[in-house]
Amino acid sequence: MSVLADDAFAAGQRPAKAPRRQPTGFGLMAYRASKGVRSPTPYLMLFGISLWLVAYWMLCEGLQLPRFEKIPGPITILSDWLSRTPAQGTSVFTPEYYQHIYVSCRRIAIAFFLATLLGVPLGLLMGWSKTIKDYTFPVLETLRPIPIMAWVPLAILMFSGYETPVIFLATLASFFATTLNTMLGVQSIDESYFRAAGCLGSKKWDVFRHVVVPGALPFIFTGLQISVGVAWFSLVAAEMVSGDYGLGYLILSSYVNSVTVPMVIGMLTLGFVGWFSSAAVRWVGNRLMQWHVKALAMQGR
């Protein structure tokens, strides 16, 4: 070793630096952050957002183009949203605002939970067993295309109060998306995994636990992301028809009372919580599917 190093010095070369080991924990976070700051991504995002804001401002407040003059612009909205005494009654300081967010989020949580609880097992069974699929698929495929809004009257007839019909509608929309994706997920599993499992002496239950469920997981989580999206969609629609609280109710009641700022605040809030909810689903999925994340990473994605 020392001989080699001496030779290297003699040849006028620097001794080779030991390659850097992969940092862990906080070091890894710092490394990623510094790498992120050096990449164009954060700057492009900021630029994109400001471009959009400027365009919005020009349309509504700067130029006040026809058809846009009644729409509150970004400055009006932000000053009301962040004001302690909002002119139109809704801001981050009014408890009622949080009540709306809380009620909607709770409904989504219940609906999404129910839909997942029912949809994933049903989808798995439908994908796995031809018999179960034969029983259920025609019914499911007939009910699925019915727009959620068409279920509203039935939901109100069937369930009492404000809460249950709204949750029912969100659950229903979310359930169809989850079930279908889960079923497709099972069907997408390569036949050779089933054969390999058979060769290795699996019983039926082993195949279900070790092949069907993990094999369908990437599709299931794609389905869950879609399903949380359609749950929000149908929730807001339902809240507009029947409700006492919730972001959908906030938007419609603001419109009815001719206050436009809370209407837009409600919309933007929906955007943020919707984004957050699908990011949360994605995060859980990546936690459960390290194998998938790592395989994608090896492909440079």
Partner 1 sequence: MQTQLNNPAGAPASKGAISIRNVTKVYDPDGAQVMAVDNCSMEIAPGEVCMIVGPSGCGKTTLLNAIAGFHSITGGEILLDGVPLCGAKKPLADQGSDRIVVFQNGALFPWKTLAENVAYGPMVQGRWPKAECIERARSALNEAGLGAVADKYPGEVSSGMARRAEIVRALINEPKVLLLDEPYRAMDALTKQIMHEALLEMYDRTKVTIYFITHDLEEAIFLGDRVYVMTTRPCRVKKVIDINLPRPRDYHTLTSEAFRLLVQEADEAVHEEAIKAFQAGEREMA
Separation CA 263–CA 67 (nearest Å): 17
In eight-state DSSP terms, residue 71 is S
Q: By CB under 8 A, is residue 24 in contact with partner 1?
A: no
Nearest-approach distance from CB 206 to partner 1, in angstroms: 4
Determine the straight-line distance between the first and last CA of the chain, rounded to whole angstroms.
40
CB contact at 8 A, 264 and 61: no
Q: By CB under 8 A, is residue 208 in contact with partner 1?
A: no
In eight-state DSSP terms, residue 290 is H
Q: By CB under 8 A, is residue 130 in contact with partner 1?
A: no
Q: By CB under 8 A, is residue 290 in contact with partner 1?
A: yes
Among 4, 29, 280, 295, binds partner 1 (CB under 8 A): 295
Give the x/- contact pattern for partner 1 in 151-190, rule: CB under 8 A. ---------------------------------------x
Q: Find the part of the chain contacting partner 1 (CB under 8 A) among 5-13, 58-66, 125-133, 193-201.
A: 193-201
Between 137 and 208, whose beta carbon lies closer to partner 1? Answer: 208
* Degrees, nearest 5: CA angle 22-294-44: 80
Q: By CB under 8 A, is residue 199 in contact with partner 1?
A: yes
Separation CA 41–CA 43 (nearest Å): 6
> Which amino acid, 146?
I
Among 203, 244, 276, 283, binds partner 1 (CB under 8 A): 203
Residue whose entry in the numeric block shows the structure tokens 């279908």 = 180
Separation CA 203–CA 212 (nearest Å): 13
Among 73, 215, 223, 246, binds partner 1 (CB under 8 A): 215
Between 7 and 190, whose beta carbon lies closer to partner 1? Answer: 190
Nearest-approach distance from CB 79 to partner 1, in angstroms: 51
Which residues, 6+ apart, have CB-to-CB distance to 128 below 8 Å? 186, 208, 212
Separation CA 157–CA 139 (nearest Å): 22
Q: Find the part of the chain contacting partner 1 (CB under 8 A) among 56-64, 76-84, 93-101, 192-200.
A: 192-200
Among 200, 287, 300, 301, binds partner 1 (CB under 8 A): 200
Question: Which pairs with CB-CB distance under 8 Å and at least 24 residues apart come from 89-95?
Answer: 89/259, 89/262, 90/250, 90/254, 90/261, 90/262, 90/265, 90/266, 91/265
Between 208 and 255, whose beta carbon lies closer to partner 1? Answer: 208
Q: By CB under 8 A, is residue 291 in contact with partner 1?
A: yes
- The site for partner 1 (CB under 8 A) is made up of 190, 192-193, 195-203, 206, 210-211, 214-215, 217, 289-292, 294-295, 298
